[in-house]
A and B are shown apart, each in its own frame.
Chain A
């Protein structure tokens, strides 16, 4: 099968959907001829024109509001937020408007809106360009949330997201943009709420989010040499969360580690761990562990490596866990 990058996969998904549906409009900053901060939109402005690929001012809050307005008026908006760190600027539009509007209007409106935003890590960009803030959105009912870790998942989930009549938070990762993977040329879409078992194993379940999926794969390879069999699950979407696949895996392995780059405290790992605890308590032979970002502002420079989890920290946590029981 052909291989394309994560960035190309997203570009293809949007291009295909925009060719299919003339009501799709892209809003954001640097998305026109510049092609998006990370080049994800390369060529879209040339193909679809400035009306549909609409560069706008640095007004994230109003841009998100415009996106909701377009959606309510029967179009489909895809809003790009350049870094997820800037998403606090659109929180009202997401948390008080898009996610609740259909409900408080008694089903009289639809909000087909996709908010794309990349999280980043280890780029040396410091405290305001390195965060994964997905738990803020997971704490908001009324949203769908995808966080793909491969080009295949990115394209399939984004195509599903764009056809939703609901608001979707689509979280990409800057360090995944250049990664390659197999993506079929023909049309496909992936359902939300269906986790992927990345690797089967019998001793411990690792639920890994976004960038940590490939770190977990590396760690599992190392641990296999030591006789530890790791099962890796990528939830792919956080809302809905496929708790069933996670619980079934934990019932099989009896051990669980959740790993994400986001801050540890009240990170999505806490929720995912609790889902496993409620569903598979009697099967657990050791406490659930979290291998996550340190609860502190992220420094610029090499010191940043100390705050983020990686394959070594994950492997060490798994070894500890195996010794416990």
Chain B
């Protein structure tokens, strides 16, 4: 039995299918975004989370409805995993007035407080203390809500990350910090940026748990996050979870330049979490292939619907330009 199959053994078929559905929906959505970007419809660039879906879905599915999430510019998957409306997301990415942020944030700024999603941020690591402040507010108000913050391996090199680790550990802030270590900060591989490659070890110096896991094993991501969330909710303080994953072939849809070898660029296909989990579903869980094909078809259609909705929506107009600067 593979590790993956072992981790999935404790999961109900409903939950497993739900994960698969979410991951496939995110994948189809992102593929559609890349396609629209190629057609010149996406404003600026966009940073797909292709191959990292298991992190978004696994950890966010470990939260309660009232918990909170903050994530990064590679964050479409987190928004969708939290239950964000794909049409509103696609419209935002295409800067349409029907976008979740009225088309003024774009691909890197998705937000919907109604579902506890307090936004994606485009300054690396800047949202880690912000998420922790959100968690501190909930600690002070004794709400029992936990805040989940996702960020990349690049963020683990920023000062804001270390300052925050110290403060959340010191104050036992109810935050779960999930580092998506996809191996690259734009073009710089972790071997050129990290003195100690295992990011989870950073936690030791702050006397908080640090756990490194296979981020493409969704059941493991879920279970690890679930325990960290429980610990935070009970007043045990923060946890750092490093999800080792692999990035899609480029930093962004518009990225120029080459990184390592051609093999390296295609590495994500080898560890792609979706076919891996599909094998678990059709194998030990004995799910019919037709059920999965139906999900895949439905995801394809949802992505197409989101794209159509966005394209049909008007571009955000001048009337919005000076709105929302001050409250």
Contact = CB atoms under 8 A, between A and B. Distances in A.
A binds B: yes
Interface of A: 25, 51-52, 56-57, 59, 61-75, 77, 92-93, 96-97, 101-112, 141-142, 144, 164-166
Given A102-B324, A165-B327, A68 B130 contact: yes
Given A70-B137, A75-B137, A96 B126 contact: yes
B interface residue count range (under 10 / 10 to 19 / 20 to 34 / 35 or more): 35 or more
Contacts of B111: 105-106, 108-109
B119 A109 contact: yes
Contacts of A73: 68, 118, 133-134, 137-138
Interface string B64-76: 0000100000000
A65 B326 contact: no
26 contacts: A57-B170, A59-B164, A59-B166, A62-B160, A62-B167, A65-B160, A65-B164, A66-B133, A69-B131, A70-B134, A72-B118, A97-B130, A102-B326, A104-B101, A104-B106, A105-B101, A106-B99, A106-B101, A106-B324, A107-B324, A107-B327, A108-B101, A109-B118, A112-B327, A165-B327, A166-B326
B167 to A, nearest CB: 6
Interface of B: 68, 99-106, 109, 111-113, 118-119, 121, 123, 126-138, 140-141, 159-160, 163-164, 166-167, 170, 323-327
Contacts of A61: 129, 159-160, 163
A72 B130 contact: yes
Contacts of A92: 123, 126, 160
Contacts of A59: 163-164, 166-167
A281 B167 CA distance: 53
A321 B140 CA distance: 58
B240 to A, nearest CB: 15
Given A62-B167, A63-B129, 4 more contacts: A65-B127, A65-B160, A73-B134, A75-B140
Contacts, number: 143
A68 B70 CA distance: 13
A74 B102 CA distance: 22
Contacts of A165: 326-327
B130 A69 contact: yes
B137 A74 contact: yes
A141 B102 CA distance: 19
A63 B103 CA distance: 30
A317 B138 CA distance: 55
Nearest to A62: B163
B140 A68 contact: no
A30 to B, nearest CB: 16
Contacts of A110: 327
A164 B159 CA distance: 30
A107 B323 contact: yes
Contacts of A109: 111, 113, 118-119
